[in-house]
Structure 1
Amino acid sequence: MKKILFAIGVLALGQAAAQTSYVSNNASSKTATITVNAGEGGGNGGLNFNGADHGKKGFVIPAGWTVKMVFKNVGTMPHSAAVTKGKTPPTSITVKDAAFAKAYTSKLVEGLAGGSAAETVTFKVGKAGTYNLVCGVPGHGLGGQYLGFVVSDSAKIASFK
């Protein structure tokens, strides 16, 4: 019985350690580091960020903060990411659609290959509003590969919910 309880405890600790935090905050420098894993798990056929799709989850960032977005394609197909304006993702994306200067990954349309090295892009968010974090590869955003991205006047730290 003790061995079974010990094994259950070890499994529970392993699962807790496996959970990922997608946000770290530095309130003194007003900087949020967000992790965006494209194709994480099999959700939505791989068209997801951090396992979420169709805007079911998203980031909340305090207005005026700097964001360091660490983008990693952990899936098998090419992916990219851009923060775009509006409550719904655009049907196609170019760098001109970015809500904030430099708020997009390289190879926006063709995407970064699965398993490629992480890419970090840094940008400053502007005024409060509702935006989206969308994959720029044609058809991926329409297929549901987007998260919410809210810039908030009332948030004290960044979060992922």
Structure 2
Amino acid sequence: MTRRLLLTSLLTSPLALAQQPTAPADHAHAVEIPGLKKELFAGITEADFMKLGDKPKTVKLVLVATFSAANYGMNFNGYSHGKAIFTIPKDWNVEVTFINPSPIPHSAIVVEKDMTKKLQMGEPYFDGAGVPKPEVGLSMTKAEFKFVADEAGEFALACGFPAHAINGHWLALNISDTAKAPTLQLGDKPAVEAK
């Protein structure tokens, strides 16, 4: 009974029912989220979200949780609900820097896109594709992980903390066997190739 009440309260909370606010065009931190360790993401811009790596067929991604106040802070790089789309060619190496400047725990994990509809994410889809203990999350710190995108399909870069992804804390990750280069589409803007 207690478990059912907890689940009901989670699903009917303002976070579960909230519509995603539009991310600011310039990603300025117009509304302050209290307690952020701002030095962890100072100077990071859209140009830093995806870059080519030093080695061939390698792409580097930066995911900043609580980048802005959009979606009550449950966003990566100011976007949520899959409104930013990373497209990676199949068999590329992906190196991810995850930053959470917030005292509220968040994490990052690659899962099948349908998993974002669940309260818990489980294990990462690809070997190594997530921070350690994503269900516990990390606060006010950085973490790195890397994986090989060795299977085409529709995936998500999701927060693995329970109930965060179902409330929109995820971005789309498409692994493509036809793409020639990695691209990133932010909201309604055209996709941009990694440099």
TM-score band by shorter chain is: 0.7 to 0.9
Structure 1 outlier segments of 4+, above 4 Å: none
Match of 1:122 in 2: 146
- The 8 Å contact of residues 27 and 157 in structure 1, kept in 2 or not, is answered as no
Structure 1 Cα separation of the partners of residues 143 and 44 of structure 2: 22
Match of 1:39 in 2: 66
- Return 20-29 or 130-139, whichever deviates more: 20-29
- The 8 Å contact of residues 39 and 76 in structure 1, kept in 2 or not, is answered as no
Larger radius of gyration: 1
1:74 Cα deviation after fit: 2.5
- The 8 Å contact of residues 56 and 147 in structure 1, kept in 2 or not, is answered as yes
What is the one-letter code of the residue matched to 1:93? M
Percentage identity across paired residues of the two chains:
30
Q: Over the residues paired in the alignment, what is the CA RMSD in angstroms?
A: 1.8
TM-score (norm 1): 0.80
Map 1:124-139 → 2, pairs under 5 A:
124-139=148-163
- Return 98-107 or 63-72, whichever deviates more: 98-107
Say which structure, 1 or 2, has more relative contact order (CA 8 Å, 6+ apart).
1
- 1:112 equivalent in alignment to 2:138: yes
What is the one-letter code of the residue matched to 2:131? T
Number of residue pairs aligned between Structure 1 and Structure 2: 141
**1:5-63 CA distance string (max 9 Å, x none):** xxxxxxxxxxxx87332111148611000001111110000111111011111211110
What is the one-letter code of the residue matched to 2:174? V
**1:86-125 CA distance string (max 9 Å, x none):** 3451411122xx2211101113111001x21x21101101
- 1:50 equivalent in alignment to 2:74: no
Q: Please, which runs of 5 or more residues in structure 2 have no aligned partner?
A: 1-42, 186-195
Structure 1 Cα separation of the partners of residues 172 and 52 of structure 2: 18
Instruction: Give the alignment partner of residue 64 of structure 1, picking from 91, 107, 115.
Output: 91
- 1:147 equivalent in alignment to 2:147: no
TM-score (norm 2): 0.67
Structure 1 Cα separation of the partners of residues 74 and 114 of structure 2: 19
Query: Relative to 1, partners in 2 of residues 1:87 and 1:142: Cα closer, same or farther, differing over 3 Å?
Result: closer
Q: Please, which runs of 5 or more residues in structure 1 have no aligned partner?
A: 1-16
